[in-house]
């Protein structure tokens, strides 16, 4: 799946590019990505004409606040991304949805695996969607505290690598960022998650913050698929 730093980078970039834009028309190439609507025309009708008022991240989901108390909800899927393109840019073969703006340009939803989704709902209905409530800690929010991290880590009877990649503990890390974090913390991923000393837990907590904030700062994943936070990802096999 598209991991947390990449989703946060997309949110920050699009917040500057699309807030205030009004959707003129919508093209949907693949029905499965809008499957919560009965048909593709239903989704097109639900989104067309709305003005984007704000953009939020709910875990690894993106929520566009629309006028008339509506919301566009987006899950990017395993390889998905969103970008604001100029009117002259043609949609690529992996672009599944294009929302064109009245003032020019468009929002392109690129989803090679076709496993993401988009849907429009009343904003009041967002609270009733359990998928928008992150199952674990969101390390890019102010609620990510040392006591909460330590408490949750000690409750896990699993290897350290498995615990970090578990969405029920910390959302949006996956294997790649888990390896980066362990390397920075100087910890072996095969150790029991509940067997760390207080000093080691603090090192791990700081490494999570350092790796993810640096990844967001650098724009997410590099072209070769690795995180830019560090050039080495040896934590899963190293024996510190």
113 in the same domain as 26: yes
Residue where one domain finishes, among candidates 97, 132, 167: 132
Backbone dihedral region of 114: left (phi > 0), alpha (psi from -120 to 50 degrees) or beta?
Answer: left
Q: Tens of pLDDT along 149-188? A: 999 999 999 999 999 999 999 999 999 999 999 999 999 9
116 in the same domain as 73: yes
103 in the same domain as 43: yes
Q: Tens of pLDDT along 47-70? A: 999 999 999 999 999 999 999 999
**CB–CB of 12/234 below 8 Å?**
no
> What local confidence, expressed as pLDDT, does residue 240 receive?
30
159 in the same domain as 128: no
Decide if pLDDT at 226 tops 70. Answer: no
Which helix (H) or strand (E) segment is 54 a member of?
A: strand 52-58
218 in the same domain as 119: no
71 in the same domain as 30: yes
* CA atoms of 82 and 95, how far apart (whole Å): 9
Residue where one domain finishes, among candidates 69, 102, 132: 132
Q: Tens of pLDDT along 93-141? A: 999 999 999 998 999 999 999 999 999 999 999 999 999 998 999 999 8
* CA atoms of 201 and 205, how far apart (whole Å): 6
Q: Tens of pLDDT along 184-205? A: 999 999 999 999 999 999 999 9
111 in the same domain as 10: yes
Decide if pLDDT at 231 tops 80. Answer: no
| Reported confidence tier of residue 1, pLDDT bands at 50, 70, 90 | low
67 in the same domain as 156: no
157 in the same domain as 78: no
Decide if pLDDT at 41 tops 60. Answer: yes
Residue where one domain finishes, among candidates 83, 100, 132: 132
Most confident of 14-18, 51-55, 229-233: 51-55
Instruction: Please enumerate in sequence order all residues whose Cβ is within 8 A of that of 16, keeping only pairs 6 or more positions apart, or say none.
Output: none
23-28 and 106-110 as β-strands: parallel, antiparallel, unpaired? unpaired
Taking the CA atoms of residue 141, residue 66, residue 64 and residue 48 in that order, the dihedral angle to the nearest 10 degrees is: 180
CATH number, domain at 115?
A: 3.20.190.10
Tokens coding 165: 């990649």
121 in the same domain as 51: yes
Decide if pLDDT at 223 tops 80. Answer: no
H helices within the chain, ranges in order?
A: 4-18, 40-47, 146-154, 160-165, 174-185, 198-218
State which residues form the domain around 61. Answer: 4-132
Residue 146's SS3 state is helix
Instruction: Please enumerate in sequence order all residues whose Cβ is within 8 A of that of 86, keeping only pairs 6 or more positions apart, or say none.
Output: 104, 105
> What local confidence, expressed as pLDDT, does residue 232 receive?
33
Decide if pLDDT at 145 tops 90. Answer: no
- Total domain count for the chain? 2
> What local confidence, expressed as pLDDT, does residue 76 receive?
94
**From the CA atom positions of the chain, what is the Rg in Å?**
19
81 in the same domain as 8: yes
- Determine the average pLDDT of the residues in 39-52: 98
Nearest in space to 174 (alpha carbons), one of 162, 183, 187, 184? 162
CATH number, domain at 229?
A: 1.10.8.50
188 in the same domain as 238: yes
């Amino acid at each position: 799946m598209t991991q947390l730093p990449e989703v946060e980078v997309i949110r920050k970039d699009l917040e500057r590019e699309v807030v205030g834009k009004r959707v003129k028309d919508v093209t949907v190439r693949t029905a499965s990505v809008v499957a919560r609507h009965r048909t593709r025309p239903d989704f097109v009708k639900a989104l067309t004409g709305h003005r984007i008022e704000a953009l939020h991240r709910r875990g690894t989901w993106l929520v566009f606040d629309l006028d008339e108390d509506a919301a566009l909800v987006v899950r990017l899927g395993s390889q998905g991304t969103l970008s604001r393109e100029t009117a002259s840019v043609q949609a690529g073969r992996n672009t599944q949805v294009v929302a064109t703006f009245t003032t020019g340009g468009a929002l392109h939803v690129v989803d090679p695996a076709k496993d993401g989704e988009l849907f429009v709902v009343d904003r009041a209905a967002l609270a009733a969607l359990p998928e928008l409530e992150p199952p674990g800690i969101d390390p890019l929010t102010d609620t990510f505290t040392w006591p909460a991290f330590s408490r949750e880590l000690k409750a896990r009877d699993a290897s350290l690598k498995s615990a970090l990649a578990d969405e029920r503990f910390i959302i949006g890390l996956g294997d790649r960022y888990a390896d980066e974090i362990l390397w920075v913390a100087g910890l072996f991923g095969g150790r029991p998650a509940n067997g760390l000393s207080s000093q080691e837990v603090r090192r791990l907590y700081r490494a999570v913050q350092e790796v993810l904030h640096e990844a967001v700062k650098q724009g997410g994943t590099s072209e070769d698929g690795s995180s830019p936070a560090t050039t080495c990802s040896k934590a899963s096999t190293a024996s510190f």
